[in-house]
Amino acid sequence: MNPTIQPGMHPDADSLTAFAEQLLPNREREQILAHMATCSRCREVVFLAQQAGEAEPATASLKASAPPKLRASWLGGWRRAWVPAGALAALIGIAVVVHFRRVETEKQMAANVTDTLQRATPAQTASSPAPAATQANAVEKAKSSPKQTSAPMRGTKGASGVVEEQRVVRQQGSALGKAAPPIVSPPGVAGGAIHGTFAALAKTSPIGGPMARQIQQQNVVPQQSATSQQDLLRQAQNLNQTAADKRVIAGAPLGGVAETVSVQAPTEAAPAPQAPAAQLSYIPMSGKDLGLSSAAAGMKKIPKILLPNGAQALSMASAETRIVAIDTSGALFLSEDNGRHWQPIPAQWMGRAVLVRNLPGGTKTTALQAVPPTRFELVNDKLQTWMSIDGKTWTAENLPGK
């Protein structure tokens, strides 16, 4: 029913209410609007009732929300706690992510090391870099006379005092990194090997990238051949001690730093270009071999090589999938699966083993000629050597009286 509004009469409250509540059909709504366009009384009624209705829901909502006020305040308290709780959760999440990334990085680095050991070739062995002492010496000299850097250093200085010179390098850090002239490897000598100590130094160095680059450049210096076995052993011991010192200095937990210290030195004193490749040990911690760029080699973490007894490898050599390693106590371990599993090798030598390295078997000259297998060489603290092909059976070599 649509009551027609008569002139002079007002719509009833029912129609006005339905109009305000948008419940009227269009035709009747138009009638109401037409009336209200000319009727101030009905406009006032509708607007006042509308305002009273708008005020009512607010009051009603207040009344309705009164009982759950306690719950709202309880939630409100928790709402304040959401901020630190969220921050804590985010912190935990970041820590977990960082932890897993670190684990993955370590695994990747370990894989790189084993791959590198597998890819060890005679050429690489022959092109091992010069002793760090010479390199550091070269850097030190480079400050005063850059022109005398490369050639005069070759084969002129022994490996003694390498620790002191490393410290010099470490202390003079970034300044040396800028002052040291580029050192070019001579033809036929491949560089790129990073000594384990240098890797640890670069890792623990607060200087970061430039220092690591500097160290890597120093390791590219052509090798020195005039080092004695005694110096070599002393160097190995000193390097290990230095690495331990640096772990302490750097605040890292003992055993938690992945230095795989290997000592490099020719066994015969001979000029570098003429140095026989077979007498050079292979240093596995090469930034190049590890797939590290020159800039990031010092920053990336060296993989941990922990032996079954929990000690770290003092010296390590590999051939194909076989790895032999000596821990700091002189015990020898063998792994035939790229370091995944280790087995102790009973001592078949005298004294305390301090060095192990591999000697390539030689080159293949004819198609029918078999390539001699790579041999491992073990050196004890008396500079006596033992040879082994499989890493299990060791035979003495050049022993006095033999």
Partner 1 sequence: MAYLRDVDAAPLQPVDETLPVEAQAPSVTVLPSLLDELWRECGAGQWGLGRDEFDRIVLRAGMGQNFGLDPGAEVTNEQQAAFFRGVKLADLVLAKGCAAGNGRAWEHFMATYSQPLTRAAIAISGSETVGRDLADAFYAELYGLTTRDGERRCPLDSYRGRGSLLGWLRTTLTQRFVDHYRRTYREEALEEQTFDAPMPDSVPQPEPSMLTTLSEAVHRALRDQPAEERFLLAAYYVDGRTLAEIGALLRLHEATVSRRLRRTTDAVRKRLLRNLERSGMSRKATEEALGTDPRDVDLRIDLKKLLQSSPPESFSKQALANPAAAKETLASALLSEERETVSEKAKSAG
The nearer residue to partner 1, 13 or 90, going by C-beta atoms, is 13
* Rg of the chain, C-alpha, whole Å: 40
Picking from 244, 267, 245, the residue whose alpha carbon sits closest to that of residue 385 is 267
Q: Indicate the residue among 18 and 306 with the shorter CB distance to partner 1.
A: 18
Q: How far is the CB of 29 from partner 1 (least distance, A)?
A: 9
Give the integer Cα–Cα distance in Å for 352 and 260: 19
Give the 3-state DSSP-derived string for 315-384, with helices as H, strands as E and coil as C. EEEEECCEEEEEECCCCEEEECCCCCCCEEECCCCCCCEEEEEEECCCCCCCCCCCCCCCEEEEEECCCC
Cβ 105 to partner 1 shortest distance, Å? 58
Select 58 or 70, whichever has its Cβ closest to partner 1. 58
DSSP state, 186?
P
Residue with Cβ nearer partner 1 (10 or 382): 10
Please say which residue, 4 or 274, places its beta carbon nearer to partner 1: 4
Nearer to partner 1, 58 or 370 (CB): 58
How far from 301 is each of 3, 84, 297, 306, 390, CA to CA, in Å?
90, 33, 8, 15, 30
Rounded CA gap, 91 and 85, in Å?
Answer: 10
Q: Quick check: 221 and 135 in contact, CB under 8 A? A: yes
Please report how close the Cβ of residue 4 comes to partner 1 at its closest, in angstroms: 7
CA atoms within 13 A on the CB side of 67: 2
Between 40 and 171, name the residue whose CB sits nearer to partner 1.
40
The Cα angle at residue 279 between residues 298 and 370, in degrees rounded to 5: 110
Q: How far is the CB of 101 from partner 1 (least distance, A)?
A: 52
- Cβ proximity to partner 1, 45 vs 250, nearer residue: 45
CB of 67 to partner 1, least distance (A): 16
Q: Which two tokens stand for residue 242?
A: 């230095």
Residue linked to tokens 């020195």: 224
Cβ proximity to partner 1: between 23 and 248 the closer is 23
Answer for the pair 376, 321: CB distance below 8 angstroms, yes or no. Answer: no
Q: CB 64 → partner 1: shortest distance, Å? A: 13
CB of 89 to partner 1, least distance (A): 41
C-alpha to C-alpha distance for 336 and 307, rounded to whole angstroms: 13
- CA distance linking residue 77 with residue 39, whole number of Å: 54
Q: Report the nearest approach of partner 1 to the CB of residue 46 (Å).
A: 6
Contact by Cβ (8 Å): 28, 15: yes
Residue 327, amino acid: D
Contacts with partner 1, residue ranges (CB under 8 A): 1, 3-18, 20-24, 30-31, 33-34, 36-41, 43-56, 59-60
- Provide the minimum distance between the beta carbon of 66 and partner 1 in the complex, in angstroms, as a whole number: 14
